[in-house]
Amino acid sequence: MKRSADKTATGLIVLGGLGLLAFALRPQESEHDQNEAPPDDMSAHEKDVLALARMLASETDNAKARVVIGWITLNAARTWRMSVYRLLTGKSGKFGPQKYFYPDGKKEVRYASTSKQPTAETYRIARGLLDGSITPPGQVERTKPSAYVELAPASKKLGPDGKPLQPEYTPEKILAKQQTYGGIVGRLNNWFLYAKGAQPIDSVEHATVV
């Protein structure tokens, strides 16, 4: 009799534990994401500068690539009819990874990551791009790319949904994206630039180096 009661109690504990585990495993906000908002009294222009500077610091360490993707980002803000700050922080208005998770588990995919703090150099480039004193190479201005993708493995950092915050991009995936973004018009290290209406290429090796 006692043995049977012990068995029931053990089973109950195990099942209760499993139940609690299932409850705990539902999607939640990652504790590691540092999402912060700019100061309230910051002007709209300074918010743009800060957002762009953070984005450039977060996306690449290459100075030339920073100018090119920053320039594309300014054009994207124009086509989406929103400020650079809003393009990069979405409805939350908070900086952080591209895939942003709200406390209730809902996610929002922003234009690019702003998870890293800006540096003096990214501030300089952001200001220059916004006031027009810094421009990309002539070929970029001429071909007007509207999209860019980096050939890279998936990020090691996972979101609360268990997926990498940045997906993997292989040469095949880079080429396949031409169907959606237009042909590849340039390559800058591992960054591939796409322009709507441009002729697609059939190998990443054929991309013109910017």
Q: Should residue 80 be labelled a site residue for other proteins when binding is judged by CB under 8 A?
A: yes
Q: How many residues does the chain have?
A: 210
Q: Should residue 58 be labelled a site residue for other proteins when binding is judged by CB under 8 A?
A: no
Under DSSP, is residue 134 helix (H, G, I), strand (E, B) or coil?
Answer: coil
**At closest approach, how far in Å is the CB of 202 from other proteins?**
21
Q: Residue 119: name the closest of 71, 60, 165 by CA.
A: 60
Give me 169's structure tokens.
């991009």
The answer to whether 81 touches 160, Cβ cutoff 8 Å, is no
Helix spans in 133-177 (H): 138-143, 171-176
Q: Should residue 19 be labelled a site residue for other proteins when binding is judged by CB under 8 A?
A: yes
Stretch that binds other proteins, among 32-40, 55-63, 124-132, 198-206 (CB under 8 A): 124-132
Q: Should residue 90 be labelled a site residue for other proteins when binding is judged by CB under 8 A?
A: yes
Q: Should residue 79 be labelled a site residue for other proteins when binding is judged by CB under 8 A?
A: yes
The answer to whether 154 touches 182, Cβ cutoff 8 Å, is no
**At closest approach, how far in Å is the CB of 128 from other proteins?**
10
Consecutive H or E run containing 107: strand 107-109
- Candidate list 2, 32, 81, 156; residue touching other proteins; CB under 8 A: 81
Q: Should residue 105 be labelled a site residue for other proteins when binding is judged by CB under 8 A?
A: yes
Strands 183-188, 147-150: pairing is unpaired
In order, the DSSP letters of 24-44 are HTS----TT---B---TTS-H
Stretch that binds other proteins, among 99-107, 114-122, 152-160, 166-174 (CB under 8 A): 99-107
Q: Should residue 167 be labelled a site residue for other proteins when binding is judged by CB under 8 A?
A: no
Residues lying near other proteins in the complex (CB under 8 A) are found at 4, 7-8, 11-12, 14-16, 18-20, 22-23, 26, 45, 74, 76, 78-82, 86, 90-91, 104-106, 108-111, 127, 130-132, 146-147, 180-181, 194
